[in-house]
Structure 1
Amino acid sequence: MEKANSAKEAARLIEDGMVIGIGSGSTVEIFLNELGKRIKEEELEIWGVPSSYQSHMLAVENGITVTDLIQFEELDLCVDGADQVDENLNCIKGKGGALLREKIVAQAAEEVIIIVDSRKIVDVLDERVPVEVFPFAYGNAVKEIKKLGGEAVLRESDRKLGACITDNGNFILDVDFGRIEDPEGLECRINCIAGVFENGIFPRRLIDRVIVGTKDGVRVLRN
C-alpha cells in the first residue's frame, strides 16, 4: 500500500512529451504500471531512459518510447527508488545491482524524485553500500575499502553459482560501514579506489525530493 501510494503520486507528475530517467526496483515497477495506465487513457507520449534491462522491458510494456543519453543528453526528471533515505535526503541504492546506470541517469536529469515507503526513512544511513567493481580489481578494492573502515562481501547470484554480475559485466561488493555520518565524503573516497566504477551512496546534491508513501497517502520531503 505505501509503495503504491508513492508510485502513484510520482506517476501523476509526468507530463505529455517528457523525457524521463527510469530507475529500477519494485516501487519503480509500480510507478511504470501506473504511468502506463495514464499513457493509454490520456494518449500521452513519454520518452524514457531506463537504468536496467528490467526497467527497459517494463517501460516498453507500458507504452514508453525507450531512448538513450545520446539522443537526449538532458532529462526532464528521473524517478527511482532507494534502499534507505536519511533525514538530509542522502540515499543508499543498489540492491538491484543497477547503481552505476542509476547514478548516470540521475545526474543527467533536471530533477530527481525518489519514491519509497515509510520504512526506508532513517535518521542516519547504516545499510550495506553496494560498490560496483571491475573484476580484475576485486582483491585490491576489498583491501582499500577495509582501509576506509568497510567490511566487503562479494555479492553472489541466487540463480547460478558464483558472483552476481551487473548489466555492465562487473562484480558488486556489499560493504558494511556501520553508521555513515558523512555520506558525501565516503562516496568520494570509495570512488577514488582504482577499479571502482561507482557506489550506492546517492548524496543529497543529486536528490530534489523524496515521495514517502504512508498508509494514508504520501508526504514529500524536499531538498
Structure 2
Amino acid sequence: MNLKQMAGIEAAKYVEDGMIVGLGTGSTAKFMVDEIGRRVREEGLSIIGVTTSKETERQAQELGIPLKGIDEVPYVDLTIDGADEISEDFQGIKGGGAALLFEKIVATYSKKCIWIVDESKLVKKLGKFPLPVEVVPYGSQQLVHLFKEQGYAPVLRTTDAGQILVTDGGHYIIDLHLEEITDPIALGTYLDQLVGVVEHGLFLQIVSTVIVGGESGPKTIHVP
C-alpha cells in the first residue's frame, strides 16, 4: 500500500453514520473517497457527501455516495482533504489540484478538518511549494505584473496542452514561487485585500487533525 493510500484509508475511519462529509480533491483524497465508497457499499455506511470539485463529484457518483451541494446542507461535520505543504505550526498550502476555492469554502463551513498527506508534505516553513492564487480572468495580467514587482515570481498556470488553466469556478490561477513564507497570516491578509483575487491557497488556523502516511504506518497528529 502506498503512503497516500494508507493516509486516505486511515482518515475514512473517522467517518460515522449520519455525517455530512466534505470530500477533498487530489491524489491522496482520491484514496479516501474510494474507501468511503467501499464502506457505503459493503458496510451500509449512511452519509451525505459534499464535494470540492467536479472531479471528486464524478468519482463519488460512480461509487454511489449520496451527494448534496454546500448550499443544500446546514453545515459539514467533517472534511477530509489533502494538502501540498503543512508547516510545523499546522498552517497549510493547498491548491495544487486547482480546487482551492471550493476546498476552502467547504473547509470553512466544517466543524472539523482532517488533512491527509505523506511524510514529504511536512515542512518547517511554508513556501517551497508554489502558492496558488485564484483570480478573475479580467485584470489577471495586472496582478501578474504586481506580483512580479513584489518579487513573488508569479506564473500563470497552464494545462498540459499549454492553454491557460480554468478552475471549476471559471477563474485563473497564478502560482507564486516564494521559496519561504515567513509570515503566512500577513501574506494571506495582503492577498485577501487585492482586487481581482478570489482566493489563495494559504489554509490558516483551519485543520484539526493531520494523518501522515509513513513507512511504519499512519501517524495521527491532533492539532492543539
TM-score by length of 2: 0.95
2:220 aligned residue:
220
The code of the aligned residue for 1:55 comes to T
1:144 and 1:104 mapped to 2: Cα distance? 26
Question: Are residues 1:37 and 2:38 paired?
Answer: yes
1:10 aligns with 2:8: no
> What is residue 129 of structure 1 aligned with on the other side?
131
Query: Cα distance 1:164–1:181, how it changes in 2: closer, same or farther (>3 A)?
Result: same
User: C-alpha distance in 2, partners of 1:131/1:70?
Assistant: 24
- Counterpart CA distance in 2 for 1:195 and 1:32 is 33
CA contact (8 A) 1:25 1:81 kept: yes
How big is the shift at 1:61?
A: 1.7
Q: Which residue of 1 aligns with 2:142?
A: 140
Equivalent residue number for residue 51 of structure 2? 50
Structure 1 outlier segments of 4+, above 3 Å: 146-149
1:65 equivalent to 2:71? Answer no
- TM-score scaled to structure 1, two decimals? 0.95
TM-superposed deviation, 1:100: 0.4
Distance 1:134 1:6, change over 3 A: same
Is residue 98 of structure 2 the alignment partner of residue 97 of structure 1? yes
* Residue 147 (structure 1) shift: 4.8
State the alpha-carbon separation in 1 of the partners of residues 72 and 157 from structure 2. 34
Distance 2:74 2:108 in 1: 10
Equivalent runs, 1:167-182 vs 2, <5 Å: 167-182=168-183
Residues 116-145 of structure 1: CA deviation (Å, up to 9, x unaligned):
000111111121101111011212212333
Aligned pairs (5 A) from 1:196-207: 196-203=197-204, 205-207=205-207
Q: How many residues are treated as equivalent by the alignment? A: 221
Q: CA deviation at 1:35?
A: 1.1
One-letter amino acid matched to 2:172:
F
Asked if 2 retains the 8 angstrom alpha-carbon contact of 1:137 and 1:194, the reply is no
Q: 2:157 aligns with which of 155, 164, 174?
A: 155
Alignment root-mean-square deviation, CA = 1.2
Unaligned runs of 5+ in 2: none
Q: Deviations over 1:141-199 (max 9, x none)?
A: 1233335441111111113x420111111111111122111112211211211000001
**C-alpha distance in structure 2 between counterparts of 1:200 and 1:149, whole Å:** 18
Q: Contact between 1:91 and 1:201, CA under 8 Å: does it hold in 2? A: yes
In the alignment, residue 211 of structure 1 is paired with which amino acid?
I
In 1, Cα distance between equivalents of 2:186 and 2:209: 21
Secondary structure in structure 2 of the residue aligned to 1:189: helix
Separation (CA, whole Å) in 2 of partners of 1:33 and 1:146:
41
